[in-house]
Amino acid sequence: MSRGPLSTVARVGADKVLNPAALDRYGGIRGDTPVLVILAAGKGTRFGQSPKCAQPVCGTPLARHSIDAFRSRFPAPVVCVVGYRQEEVVAALGDDNVYVLSDDPTGGTAFAALEAFSVPGLAAANPVVVVTMGDRIVTPAVFRKLHETQVLGAREADLSLLTAVYEPPRNRGKGRVVRDQERRVVRIVEQRDIDLLADGVERAALDGLTEGNCPLYAIRAATLRRCLEGIRADNAQAQYYFTDVVEAIHREGGDVRTVTTRATDPEYDLLCSDVTRPLDLALLEGILAARPEAPRSVALHIDEVAHALAADRPAGQAASIAAQLEELWRAARNEKLGFRDDRPVGIGVSGGRVRLAFMHPDMGRFFGPAW
Residues 126 and 39 in one domain: yes
Neighbour count for residue 239 (Cβ, 10 Å) = 19
Listed residues 291, 323, 346: the one ending a domain:
291
- φ/ψ (deg, to 5) at 162: -95, 130
User: What is the span of the domain harbouring residue 322?
Assistant: 312-367
Q: Does residue 305 lie within any of the structural domains?
A: no
Residues 363 and 280 in one domain: no
Predicted pLDDT at 311? 63
Distance separating alpha carbons of residues 109 and 206, to the nearest angstrom: 22
Average pLDDT over residues 55-84: 96
**Beta-carbon contacts of residue 72 (< 8 Å; ≥ 6 apart):** 140, 296, 300
CATH number at residue 11: 3.90.550.10
Decide if pLDDT at 302 tops 60: no
Contact in structure between 170 and 176 (CB atoms under 8 Å): no
ω before 120 within 30° of 0 (cis)? no
Q: Does residue 303 lie within any of the structural domains?
A: no
Beta bridge partners of 251: none
Predicted pLDDT at 359? 45
Predicted pLDDT at 337? 66
Decide if pLDDT at 228 tops 80: yes
Tens digits of per-residue pLDDT, 237-251?
999 999 999 999 999
Number of domains making up the chain = 2
Characterize 324-341 residue by residue with b for buried, 16 or more Cβ atoms within 10 angstroms of its Cβ, and e for exposed.
bbeebeeebeeeeebbee
Listed residues 229, 261, 291: the one ending a domain:
291
Q: Does residue 1 lie within any of the structural domains?
A: no
Tens digits of per-residue pLDDT, 328-344?
766 766 666 666 654 55
Listed residues 234, 262, 291: the one ending a domain:
291
Decide if pLDDT at 319 tops 50: yes
Residues 33 and 115 in one domain: yes
Distance separating alpha carbons of residues 295 and 110, to the nearest angstrom: 28
Distance separating alpha carbons of residues 31 and 19, to the nearest angstrom: 22
